Amino acid sequence: MEKNIFVYCEITEEGHIADVSLELCSKGYKLAKELKVKLEAIVVGSQLDMVVEELTPYGIDTLYLADAKGLFPYLTLPHFKIVSQVIAENKADIVLFGATSIGRDLAPRVASKLKCGLTADCTALEFGDHYVKKTDTTYKNLLYQIRPAFGGNIVATIINPDMHPQMATVREGVMKKETVKSPSKPKVIHLEVDKYLSDEDFIISILERHIEAPKVNIKGAQIIVAGGYGVGSSENFKLLFDLAEAIGGEVGATRAAVDAGFIGHERQIGQTGITVRPKLYIACGVSGAVQHRAGMDQSAQIISINTDPNAPITHIADYNILGSVEEVIPKMIKYYRQNSK
């Protein structure tokens, strides 16, 4: 069976393809190239002309466009019916969604409709074989859907050998967004939306939408100063803000620090927070639990400030500074300002 790979591409409020969808297209292209199959994508929205140009550099073979004409991009029922039927019609074997609020709502409904499994919040995707001793059956080139499990204490590899398509949602930031060197323009298929929908699909209407602007942009920061429970207090977190201001970064935190009330949830990094990939990550009082590392271990360079020389974070850090936040950070700020004039 041809394992064509299908990516659901989400559109942002500004009408562009979401970053997580571009990351999935990059990963999908590599997977499709490995199996020598096609990479396909679907976009549901309005004013879709510019999305073709946005997606062309990512090596998509076939692009399905469903023009919602501004009527239902955020209505689950019609959205779900189009996506699930297009996937079924084209016999997609692997389907990838971003683990966004829309993807987390849409993907389980599609999986239920297609009677297949779904692995949520994957951090890695790769191919491999699986042998079932009971039936003496070897399944070739299954999609290994890799994610933290049991509260992040282990990393689980999940497979779906029998019920296809194999479906997964993937968190933003865990895949690299890379364009193809010499891409060709995808074959564009404009879907007849009326073919998939009926009047009963519009029993719910959106009267009003209120969107709160994000307070901080940790995901886009190139430098992050992150604090853990070891920072000790919200007062000590002010030192992290001072350092971040001095070096042009943003402040992040572990779940333990957020749960302790040291800082707000919008700055949480890790399995249950934001996934980041900055050029520099300064971990202050961070123990380095699996849950937190899942959201930051792809940082280009990691500096750890910790009083525990055996903390798990020290094993992935490029530089380890042994000491407390209160004594180390003021010195870092002082010497940075002295040497950056």
In what helix (H) or strand (E) does residue 86 lie, and over which residues does it extend? helix 76-89
223-227 and 280-284 as β-strands: parallel, antiparallel, unpaired? parallel
Q: Residues near 146 by Cβ (< 8 Å), separated by ≥ 6?
A: 122, 123, 124, 125, 126, 155, 156, 157, 158
Query: Beta partners for 283?
Result: 226, 304
Judge if 5-202 and 223-339 fold alike in CATH terms: yes
- Report residue 257's pLDDT band, with 50, 70 and 90 as the boundaries: very high
Superfamily of domain 5-202: HUPs (3.40.50.620)
In the CATH scheme, what is the code of domain 223-339?
3.40.50.1220
**Nearest 5°: CA angle at 223, between 217 and 226?**
80
Q: Report domain extents, the chain.
A: 5-202, 223-339
Tens digits of residue pLDDT in 92-112: 899 999 998 889 989 999 999
- Percent of the chain past pLDDT 70, that is, above it, reads 95
Report whether pLDDT(68) > 50. yes
Which of 155-169, 193-207, 232-246 shows the lowest mean pLDDT across its residues? 193-207
Tens digits of residue pLDDT in 269-284: 987 788 888 999 999 9
What ranges in 249-324 are assigned the alpha helix state H?
A: 255-259, 290-293
First to last CA, the chain: 63
The shares of helix, strand and coil residues in the chain, as percent rounded to the nearest 5, are 35, 25, 40
- Report residue 289's pLDDT band, with 50, 70 and 90 as the boundaries: confident
- Report residue 167's pLDDT band, with 50, 70 and 90 as the boundaries: very high
- Residue 317 contacts residue 231 (beta carbons within 8 Å): no
In what helix (H) or strand (E) does residue 131 lie, and over which residues does it extend? strand 124-132
- Helices 325-339 and 234-247 cross at an angle (nearest 10°) of 20
The total number of residues written for the chain in this structure: 341
